[in-house]
Every structure is written in structure tokens, then in C-alpha cells.
Structure 1
Amino acid sequence: MSSLPRIGQWTTLDELQALQDKQLPHLLGWAARSPFYSKRIGSALTSMRTRADLESIEPTTKQDLRDQYPFGLLAVPKEELATYHESSGTAGQPTPSYYTAQDWVDLAERYARKWVGINANDVFLVRTPYALMITGHLAHAAARLHGATVVPGDNRSVAMPYSRVVRVLHDLGVTLSWSMPTETLMWAAAARAAGYEPGRDFPALRALFVGGEPVSPTRRKRISELWGVPVVEEYGSTETGSLAGECSWGHLHLWADRAIFEVYDPVTGTVGPEGSGQLVVTPLYREAMPLLRYNLGDDVEVSYADCPCGWALPTVRVLGRAGFGYPVGGATITQNRLEELVFSLPVEHEVLFWRARALPERLTVEVEVPDAYREAACAGLRQAIATEYGIDADVAGVTPGTLLPTEVLTGVHDVVKPRSLFGPDEDWTKGLIYY
């Protein structure tokens, strides 16, 4: 594999494109070994070398990956594979992905490209799945690449309840973490349930790395205020690895030295380098499973405007499902904007958790809020919704612990190994169950 580019090797977009063009023939050569692409494109693929050639290829879809399960896109001998993965949102059909050891060098390097660096002094809590999805393995590999101590706190395991997360954060002096944004709010609630104050009693913590769901600026600010550290965003997928990371100016930059990005407008059918639409990605250093013009289906806004950080990389705003809305009384309610309104309530109201139901004739919102602030919080949110959407919403405050039960934050599961022999007073119905 060609040597991997490093930030600083280019200073202009023309130089960046030259790096892409230099690697593109290697990628197209790998794709020619893929049964899927050799069948779809035919012998013409072996002579393709340029960006114009790439743009003539029909985009690859998630359904294509599902239809080729498990190894229809494999472009190397199977014995060269290092890992096999499947994404989480498969709608009942596996979406396979696989990588060689050399592919993993690229994956780990891209993930670690954050303005808050990872180093050997860090204790890194990885609080995302370690199963078939790539997310936990990716952060783990990036942390180890830079010498950090990894705490593998899989968020899908009953062996790692929130009470244990708080203990690990506090007792081990965790400095960095990787999770969904919502997780960090739940940690804060669990910490308080354990008698700790998030912004005071975890002095080693220096940043929270988050991804996996859109996060509004107001929720991000609230998380940062709670913990007293920066919240650093990451964007990627199991099929591609990290696609974008955050610079010190708070902008999410696409790793365009390692992939070619396009934006597809599903309304007009046009494809361009920037604007609003669905993100189409061609990873340039993916050997085991080359992807040509892979449409992630994520709604994004891409811009090539200059950023003061000097990385000379395009920026992206990831909307995900945030752009999807429900009609209510003539307005369209989106989660992203409604979340903005909820977290615009004064921090003193202590509102962290909420839910809403959108019906054609009515919007109902519930927020967890202490009794002392309930009336003010509900009135403030009701007014904000009326101002934003021009509708009257039913806003109710509920006691903390209603939406997120306290026992979820404080409970400790009894995790046991399976066995078959039991004594007279033991419950043998759990003989083959691990919890």
C-alpha cells in the first residue's frame, strides 16, 4: 500500500486533489479484484485510472453490500483479512465490512486525528459496542497506536452498568472517553446518584469524544458545562471507519486526503463536491473491500470554505436523521431543532432528559425537572416552541427518575458464568444465562 498522507503535506485544495489523484489508480486496481465490481463494471475497470473514470461509475448502495453478503466484495485472499464487521442499522439484513491489518493502520490513524490528541499518558474509556460494529474496536486501536491505556467499557454489556462506569471514570483517572453524546448525560446523572459532581470530582478528565448520533450545539454546550471539558465530535461508519474529525475551531473536517467525497442531491439527481444532500464516499486506502462512490445515505452539508485551523480540508455538518421531521399543526418538527430548544433552557433548571410525541394535531413534550424549577422550565419551553413553530404544545415536567429510572443509574448486575449443577436453594432457571 502507498504511504499514507499526513496533515500538513498540502496547503491548498489543488494539492489535496493531487494527493487523491495519485492514489486513485491504486484503488481502482484493487476494485478490479472485487467480484462485485468486476461483474458490475466488467473489463473496463482494469483500464480506469482517473477521477473522470470514477465519476462514470454507478454509486454503490447499502443494499449492494447486503446483497453481496458475506464476501462478495472481497478483493484480497481471505487469509489476509484481520477483522470482519457488520453495521448496526441493517434492517434485518447484514451489512458486511472487512479489513486487512494494513487497512487498520489507516483506520486507526484517521480516528486519532483530533485536535485533542491521544498520548501514552491517557487512560481512554471506550464506551461503545465491541461486537460486530467497528466503533469500539476503532477507538481501541487508535488509542493503542498512540500508547494510551484502554479501558474497554462496552456499552452493550451487562457487566458494565452505569454505576461501574462512574467508578472507573473516578478511580482510574480516565482522561479521555469515547461514547454517544447521550451516554455522557447519563454518566452525569449516575455520578450525581453516587454522590459525585461531574465537573468537580473527575479532575483527570480532559475531553469527551462523541459520535454515533447528531448533537445540537446547545446539547453539546450543556455536556461541556456539566463535565467542564471539551466535547469533541467524530463522524464515520462501520463500512468506512472515521470520515471526519474536529479541529480546534470546532469544525468537523472530512478526511479528504484519505477519501474522495461527493454530495448527492436526491431531489435533482445531481452530484457535486459540496452543498446539501447525501454523502458519497470513496475510501482511497481500503484494500480488503474497496468501495467506489459509496452512498452512506446520511444527510450532510459540505463546504470548502477556509477554516482558521489551516488543515485545508472540507468541513461537514452531519444531519443524519436530524433533517427528518413530523408534521404538527402546519409545522414540521425535527429532533435537532427541538433539542436546541430543550437545551436552551437555563442550566439551573437541570433539564437533561426529555421525550416528545408528534401527532398531526398536537405536540406533547415531557422533561425531567426538579420540582423547584418545573413551572418555569415548562413555561419557558412552551413559549420557545410557540415562537419557533407557531404551535401550542403540551409541555409537562416529570420527576427526575421518570424517564431515566434511578435503578438504571445505580444498579449492579450479578454477572455469572453458565453452569449445570445447582444446590437446593439456587435458581437453576439461569443455568445457561450469563447474567
Structure 2
Amino acid sequence: MNQPHALPQLGQWGSLAELYALQDRRLPAALEWARTSPFLKPRLDGHEPPYTVESLARLPFTTKQDLRDAHPFGMLAVDRRELATYHESSGTSGAPTPSYFTDDDWHDVVTRFVRGAVDITSADTVMVRTPYAMLTTAHQAHRAARLRGATVVPADNRSLVTPYARVVRSLRDLEVTLAWCLPSEVLLWAAAARVAGLDPARDFPALRGFLVAGEPLTEARRARMSELWGGVPVRQDYGSTETGSLAGECREGRLHLWADRFVAEVYDPATGRSAREGRGRLVLTTLHRRAMPLVRYDLEDTVEVSGEDCGCGWRLPVIRVLGRSAGGVPVGDATVTPHQLEQLVFELPAARGVLFWRARVTAGRLEIEIEAAPEQREAATTALHHAVHSRLGVACEVRAVPPGTVVPLETLTRGHEFVKPRSLFAAGEDWDKALVYY
């Protein structure tokens, strides 16, 4: 049985070469364990020693579709009685992608997660504002915070119980020190705070950090988010429901792959080759996963990985996450990604006040709408039009729309009183609300 104390710890290797040697030592046991998975056994039975990172290239990828086809337990490598939790994600496909963990698997996940730059302590109050439901993201942060003795505020972002107005109130009243959320939430909370008559840069003195994940984050948007909240740092984690945390940010502001717990390959679709570094799709092989080992799992994320030195001393590869490989859309002869557009939008001066935007392709050109106050509309639209045309090389139309168009004001202000289902109503009450949560 894989015991938590056997997991690698930061500082146990002094160079990337030593780290990669650690991977080679662990990989044979990981692949032998993977044979207990009904899905992986036939794939691995023809894969003979030596089991090295280089030899992985002889194996096929495991795809998201493979996981969906194996739903629910075709990937299971332990007895069902050993499972601690079962999860699913659906992404944009709508079909369930299963993921499951033993307690030891969870220890692996949370000890990776707490390595990040925002050091969680027992003095912290941590708001968890990502989906609990069947995803892993909130459970990961919740378990990690409790591992460090922190107080958790479970503010699920898929629940009517915690609309934005209540989140803002809770941030202030509960003196939340750290928040785990999507990057977009940080902007939405700032807007909701302003609508409530609060200054996000001044009226939340306990707040000392945002830890965000779930969306690619450009440096321009990160800087704007921090500025809105008076310089509160914004740190990233990167992962998935299928894997948990894959990378975290160090004190130097770089995102590092947890390459002591995974073998990471960068696959170049143009050449069909994989390497430890470069730009391409991220492919992972787990080294310590018990319930659901993954061998050459293609996350379909486009990344850049390098072995550049970092002052943090972690001696882990640096990764930049650029988004889903299928995330770009054709515009004329070019392909435009959300990452590219986000960078240009948030490079607009903060004085323009642009936080919310949307874009679509119409008749071979980009149609972009940005929310802007009347006095900023001309300057904002002119600057963004020039940036898109000159740097992306595509035709575009940029329109400024009144605040409340892209993100309705009601979204920021409404509150919901949580009412339990009921079946008996007094005279004059609306019994159409029987058995309905709202």
C-alpha cells in the first residue's frame, strides 16, 4: 500500500537531472500498479522493461474520450471499498468524465496544493468559491485548508445560496484572509463591492491573497485584479478534476509543474514527438495515484514548459498554461485565442475602467463589446481596435456598451433567501413554490 510518508518532498533533489532520475526510479512501480486498471492492463501488457520516461513514447495516449468510454469504473485500480470520493467533470462535451481517489490519493493531492506561494496557516479564514458538486476543485482547497488548520468558508459558486452580494458581505464580515476562486470571480466581486458602496482596495483589510485556477490567466488580467483590490497578490494553481493540482506558483511568481508526482511530456502535434520542454499539449503519467492511475493522459491543454532556473529553489520545471488546444477560433486567415484577446483588453489603462468584455466572429471579422463608462468609450474602443488589428492581424469592430450589458447589474446585486422545500401553505401563500429550492 502506498503510504503518504513515501511521497517526495521539495528539497529532496538538487537539480532537474536528479528530479528526472527520481521519476525514472518511481515509474516502474507506477506502471506495474497501472496494470491493475481494466482499461490500462491490455495497453501495458505488451510494454516490457526497461520502464523509463523515454520508453513511454511507445504507449498510446489516454484521452478524455477514453475516460468517458470507461465511465464509471473502467479505470478503477483498487477495490471499491478503498475509494474515498467519486467525481465527474463534463467540460463542454456534456458526457461525464469520471475521477476517483483513495484517502492516500487525496493526501498526495492536498500536499501538492499547499506548496503554493500563498502559505495557508491556522490563522487564516479561507473562502472556497469554486464548485463543490462533483468536481474536485473545491474539495481540494477545503481539505488543504483544513490540513493547515485554517477555517473554511464553503461558498460554492454553483449555488443560489451564495450570490455575489453575499460573497462580498462574507468577505468583509468574516474577515476572510484567503480566497480560492476562478480569476473571473475576483473581477466580479470587485464590481459587486462597488455597487454595494464599498471600495475593494480599502474596505477588506483582512484579505491577503487570492489563489485562482480554472481559467488561463494573462499577466495583464492578473495585474488588474491585484490593482482593484489594493495590491492583494493573485497566485495561480493549475490542475483538473481528473488529476487535482498539477502546478503551483512559487514566491518568484512562476508556475511550477509538480514533476516529482507526475511525468510530464510536451507533445507537438505537428511533429508527433514528445519532449520534457517546449510548446505543445501537456501529457501526464501519474507516479503515485492508486484509485485511478493515468498513463500518458492528454489534457488537451496547450502549454509551454521550460527548465529555466528559478530563485525559489524548488528545482521544478516552469509551465505557462495557454489554454485548450481547441480554444482558438478562426478569424479570416488567422486563429484567435481567448488568451490573446484577454491580454489586449487588460492592457488598456486601468483608467478606462474596462473589466467585462465579450467577442464573437461575424462575417470573417471579430465583433467585440466592452463595458465602459460614457466618458471612456471613445478612448477605450479606439485603443483596443488598434491593438487587435495591429497585433493579431484581424479585422474587427469594437463597441463600447453601458455597464450592466455584459454582466447584468442584477447579477451583482441580487440576493436569495434560501428556502427549504415545503408542502403545506397558509391562506394567501403561493403553493407553486412547493418542493422548490430558491
TM-score range, shorter-chain basis? over 0.9
**CA distances 1:91-136 after superposition (whole Å, capped 9, x unpaired):** 1321111100011100001111112211111110000000111000
Q: Which amino acid aligns with 1:175?
A: T
Structure 1 residue 327, shift from structure 2 partner: 3.5
Native 8 Å contact 2:323 2:339 kept in 1: no
Q: Which amino acid aligns with 1:282?
A: T
Out of 31, 36, 41, the residue aligned to residue 33 of structure 1 is 36
**Larger deviation: 267-276 or 239-248?**
267-276
Native 8 Å contact 1:28 1:48 kept in 2: no
Native 8 Å contact 1:108 1:142 kept in 2: yes
Q: How does 1:1-400 map to 2 (within 5 A)?
A: 1=2, 3-42=6-45, 44=46, 49-89=51-91, 91-227=93-229, 228-321=231-324, 324-400=327-403
Structure 1 residue 164, shift from structure 2 partner: 0.5
Q: Which amino acid aligns with 2:68?
A: R
Q: Which amino acid aligns with 1:143?
A: A
**CA distances 1:128-150 after superposition (whole Å, capped 9, x unpaired):** 00011100000101111111111
**Separation (CA, whole Å) in 2 of partners of 1:430 and 1:48:** 64
**Separation (CA, whole Å) in 2 of partners of 1:295 and 1:322:** 11
TM (norm. structure 1) is 0.96
Native 8 Å contact 2:301 2:325 kept in 1: no
Native 8 Å contact 1:422 1:428 kept in 2: yes
- Structure 1 residues 147 and 46, CA gap change in structure 2 (3 angstroms): farther
Matched residues, number: 434
Q: Which amino acid aligns with 1:267?
A: A
Tell me, which stretches of 5 or more residues in structure 2 are unaligned?
A: none
Q: Which amino acid aligns with 1:432?
A: L
TM (norm. structure 2) is 0.95
Structure 1 residue 395, shift from structure 2 partner: 1.6
- 1:433 maps to which residue? 436
SS of equivalent to 2:39 = helix
Native 8 Å contact 1:327 1:360 kept in 2: no
Q: Which amino acid aligns with 1:325?
A: G
Native 8 Å contact 1:276 1:302 kept in 2: yes
Structure 1 residue 45, shift from structure 2 partner: 5.9
Structure 1 residue 22, shift from structure 2 partner: 2.5
Structure 1 residue 322, shift from structure 2 partner: 7.6
**Separation (CA, whole Å) in 2 of partners of 1:45 and 1:333:** 40
SS of equivalent to 1:204 = coil
SS of equivalent to 1:35 = coil
**Larger deviation: 316-325 or 219-228?**
316-325
**Separation (CA, whole Å) in 2 of partners of 1:299 and 1:152:** 31
Q: Which amino acid aligns with 1:306?
A: D
**Separation (CA, whole Å) in 2 of partners of 1:284 and 1:413:** 45
Structure 1 residue 88, shift from structure 2 partner: 3.4
Structure 1 residue 276, shift from structure 2 partner: 1.2
SS of equivalent to 1:311 = coil
Structure 1 residue 392, shift from structure 2 partner: 5.0
**CA distances 1:10-32 after superposition (whole Å, capped 9, x unpaired):** 11112112221222232122212
Q: Which amino acid aligns with 1:327?
A: P
Native 8 Å contact 2:421 2:434 kept in 1: yes
Structure 1 residue 241, shift from structure 2 partner: 0.7
**Separation (CA, whole Å) in 2 of partners of 1:284 and 1:377:** 49
Native 8 Å contact 1:323 1:334 kept in 2: no
Structure 1 residue 380, shift from structure 2 partner: 1.8
Native 8 Å contact 1:214 1:322 kept in 2: no
Structure 1 residue 188, shift from structure 2 partner: 0.2
RMSD: 1.7
Native 8 Å contact 1:282 1:293 kept in 2: yes
Tell me, which stretches of 5 or more residues in structure 1 are unaligned?
A: none
Native 8 Å contact 1:322 1:334 kept in 2: no
Structure 1 residue 428, shift from structure 2 partner: 1.4
SS of equivalent to 2:380 = helix
SS of equivalent to 1:142 = helix
**Separation (CA, whole Å) in 1 of partners of 2:16 and 2:367:** 47
**CA distances 1:211-241 after superposition (whole Å, capped 9, x unpaired):** 1011111111100101121110110001111
Native 8 Å contact 2:57 2:274 kept in 1: no
